[in-house]
Amino acid sequence: RWPVPYRRFDYRPKTDPYCQARYTFCPTGSAIPVMKEEDVIEVYRLQAPVWEFKYGDLLGHLKIMHDAVGFKSSLTGKNYTMEWYELFQLGNCTFPHLRPGMDAPFWCNQGAACFYEGIDDAHWKANGTLVLVTTISGTMFNEMAKWVKYDNETGIYYETWTVQASPDKKSTVWFDSYECSKFILRTYQKLADLGAVFKKIQTNYTSIILFSGEPVYLGNETSIFGPQGNKTLAAAIRDFYNPFKPHHSVREFFVDLFKIIDHVILNHQFYLFYNLEYWLLPMKSPYLKIIYEEVPLPVGSKASFGV
């Protein structure tokens, strides 16, 4: 039963005009090129602190890192970067808007792959990582490109939180996150399954973990907020999300921060929205932790050569 599997969808819905990004998603993005079969392509692991372009190494000290993958074609000499991130920034993927006249919380949440020509060496090297992890053929790259299209069209919602029972490494995972590092891990695994042999180097990734007892299923938007919904529960969910709104003053921020502490730590409650459904997490100490742990590079099964 656990962890709850991440739900895939048949198509990506159109985004609502209400959802606006502070920074444009994938501004220089391009289609993934078709490589010549005989090409030899270097694959690079790329990692840098989140929002490094704005805050430098600040979030690197907290080990909050963003991951990407780079490619270099031997035949053309061209470099490419591929990454997966939020269309409307992290806050919108993690918490909803409470809009006037709408009972249900409104989510601006989508994530997607971005592919573009070039690798910004300075960005990845300055405070992070740019290291060769394997080489692949043009044929393998083209197969990976087909898989990226499938993965991108069906895995559309960003999930910030990993939720597990305790900090123990063998503890039950209730929900797994679905964010930039998970896309890179899936890409590496696909390349391994296609026959790529990875170097033996240490690779670490950031996870933001909530700690909770067994989650309680509450229902979906219709069953909670619809005409026949549970008005008490609907009000409790709105009340929980309200303090996470953007703040216009320091005083407002601290008032809401105390409300969050009251909900999560004193009352041991967190409402999670996952797979378009609501769950109540009975929170427990240490409540939240940011970890930077090793996930080994994959070993291929070579069992499959398709999407």
Here the contacts of 275-278 (C-beta below 8 Å, separation 24 or greater) are 275/4, 275/6, 275/7, 275/157, 276/7, 276/157, 276/220, 276/221, 277/217, 277/218, 277/219, 277/220, 278/218, 278/219, 278/220, 278/221, 278/224, 278/237
Among residues 93, 108, 114, 180, the one annotated as catalytic is 180
pLDDT of residue 255 exceeding 90, the answer is: no
User: How many structural domains are present in the chain?
Assistant: 1
The answer to whether residue 207 sits within a structural domain is yes
The model carries a pTM of 0.91
The answer to whether residue 23 sits within a structural domain is no
d(CA 70, CA 81): 4
Closest CA relative to residue 195, chosen from 41, 69, 35? 41
* Residues with Cβ within 8 Å of residue 84, at least 6 apart in sequence: 111, 112, 113, 114, 179, 180, 183, 184
pLDDT of residue 276 exceeding 80, the answer is: yes
Q: What is the mean pLDDT of residues 45-74?
A: 82
- 3-48 pLDDT tens trace: 999 999 999 989 999 999 888 999 999 999 999 999 999 999 999 9
The answer to whether residue 9 sits within a structural domain is no
The answer to whether residue 7 sits within a structural domain is no
Closest CA relative to residue 183, chosen from 259, 132, 111? 111
Indicate if 108 belongs to the active site.
no
Q: 230, 224 in Cβ contact below 8 A?
A: yes
The answer to whether residue 143 sits within a structural domain is yes
- 110-140 pLDDT tens trace: 999 999 999 999 889 888 899 999 999 999 9
d(CA 190, CA 15): 29
The answer to whether residue 149 sits within a structural domain is yes
The answer to whether residue 260 sits within a structural domain is yes
DSSP at 106: B
Indicate if 61 belongs to the active site.
no
Among residues 61, 66, 123, 263, the one annotated as catalytic is 66
Domain interval for residue 164: 40-294
The answer to whether residue 15 sits within a structural domain is no
